[in-house]
Amino acid sequence: MDKLTDNQIAWRAAQDIADGAYVNLGIGLPEKVAQYQPPGREAVFHTENGILNFGESPASGAEDWDLINAGKKAVTLKPGASFFHHADSFAMVRGGHLDVAILGAYEVAQNGDLANWSTGPKGVPAVGGAMDLVHGAKRVAVITGHVTRDGRPKLLERCTLPLTGVGCVTRVYTSLAVIDVADGRFVLREKLPALSMDALQAVTGARLLTPGPVADLICPEL
Nearest Cα to Cα of residue 164 among 119, 116, 125, 128: 116
**Cβ(176)–Cβ(183) below 8 Å:** no
Find the catalytic residue in 31, 42, 48, 107: 48
Contact present, 37 and 43 (Cβ < 8 Å): yes
Q: Does 48 participate in catalysis according to the annotation?
A: yes
Active-site residues: which are they?
48
